[in-house]
Structure 1
Amino acid sequence: MDVFSDLIRGVRAHGSLFASSTLSPPWALHFVDGAPLTLCTVLTGAGWIVPEHGPPEPLRARETIVVRGPATFTFVDEVGTRAEPIACGEFCATPEQGGTRHRLGWHDCGADTGDVPGATTLIVGAYPVRGEISRRLLDALPAVLRVDGGGTSDPVLDHLAAEVAVDTPGQQVVLDRLLDWMLVCTLREWFDRPGGEPPAWWAAQRDPVVGDALRLLHAEPAAPWTVTALAERTGVSRSTLAKRFADLVGEPPLTYLTRWRMTLAADLLVEQEAATVAEIARAVGYSDPFGFSVAFKRVRGANPSEFRRTAITPFPAARTTMADRTAPAARTAPAGSNA
């Protein structure tokens, strides 16, 4: 298991396509959900993403922007267009229900708009982020990131465009999978952009020695690792591994392993409420519960029992979708809360 695959595994679309619509100016959509991650892309036309805290970002055809919450943002035809609540019946979720605020000009309130000259076709996917593992991925992202069109995500966008144009059984499942695919391609492209500053673990994965060491630590986190054992598995000397790992990752191998084990343990403590602290300790490589508790408190700031008592579901609004309330509007609904 590579680092990126581990970190993104808790970021999944489940009914999260809450906008696939044709807009003609003037229009403004204010996304009030504050989802941990929101992916915005346009099939045709253009607009502006206006973050709650930050400068406007242009979004042109085939480009993708990912906004990191909990701050809200607005998608507008022109900077300065204001969003105001309107009524469009059962196909709209109100802001109080976790939907969007929008102004007249949104032309897809359950109606077939056809080809609207100068219109913009928008696709939005909001992602809940569950657990401490995926939170490490969020920590590596800026408030707003963009990927230009023409990259590796374009074939996925073609599939998305074809799927939203039809209404067939199983459509939401297909859209969820395509959105997941789109997000992975977008993040990989952004991390690899020329002149970028990706997190240390991303670049380190490409190193033939440190990359192998990281894959081993993520594949077998509970194994009784020492630097010597890790060096033997990667085919280099102990000193070579220790230096290359610290240079590329920013910390020694066993320090990285301890932090990763505590991240895994934090999620296990919340997900497996019936498991004892001793069982969680063994699952992440500690035979001594006391030693595990000391390490956990040093890394997480609280002992395992305290952490379990105070843990809060990270994104409760993600449990309700527009599709849940008005299933026929799952593809064309102007707004909805996240999945």
Structure 2
Amino acid sequence: VLAAIPGIAEPGWKVESSVPGTPNDAYAFSIAGAELRIDATLAMNPQPANAVSYWDTLNFTDPEAGTEGNFSPSSPWPLNTPQDDDNYAMRATGILNITVPGVYHLGFQGDDGGYMYIYGQGGLADPVISSIVYTNVPAVAAIGMAPNSTVNNAIRADVGTGNSRTVVSVPLQVGQYKIQTLMFEGGGGSFWEVFGGQAISPGYNYPLLAKGAGSTLSVTGGIPLVAEGSTVPDEIRISGFTVTGSPVGSVSFSINSKPGESYVIQASTDLVNWVDLKTVPSGGTTTNMSVTLADHPQINGQPKVFFRVADRP
């Protein structure tokens, strides 16, 4: 099955950022407060450097206190300071190019909440979001109307949370759609990612929506992750197997190894056909390994996958 991953038109994502605030300042910890906070920063004279900036993807963190999402490395948020930044917000707009009509899954995740609005461009009507197919915040994630629209083209997660991941299903025609999306940060950790593609499955780890022509993924069915303690030929032993993200964005583990050797991580969805994912040089008698699933369309989003490690000839 082929799935289209749409691209973002030039000049990429326009990101408007607020200066960090302080606890209990004039702005509410909410979507409405975030809008006011950003608008106040843009109205400053002089306007802070990087209050408006352009990016290929939306993949940010606060390096001093933030966390990584499913895509690493993340960029420091545009108004990052040397301190742990709290009480700030970012708002982004980009033009999504749809070259294949169909049902798409679009979403965001971050710490804390936010929204995504989808507007038709060039004569296209605003699309109607069909449903929420995945959310970490079911009590508050809500479909509704975006400003200046008459249909349900908005998804909002107006909440403080460690991960607001929310994905919606929306039918899109060939043409362009304006995406407006926002995140707000209170205290503690901070990250933000915006992603999507032609519908595959609710738990699929869709790629970031990136500036460019878009791409196509080939998707197949699969089977379970290998259990910790499994072995592969030549008595290479896998231990400490850990999965990260919800849905799973990466896996990591260790193997016993020989100094000077190299090893290849392989994956399979049927225990018959194996693909090489990456080659890792030995770290000595123990070698740590990791795989980011979004880098490998053959296994990304599969409900079950096997991993093994072999000597690199």
TM surpasses 0.5:
no
Give the TM-score of the pair, scaled to structure 1: 0.26
Higher RCO, 1 vs 2 (CA within 8 Å, ≥6 residues apart): 1
Of structures 1 and 2, the larger Rg is shown by: 1
Structure number with higher strand proportion: 2
**TM-score, normalised via structure 2 length:** 0.27
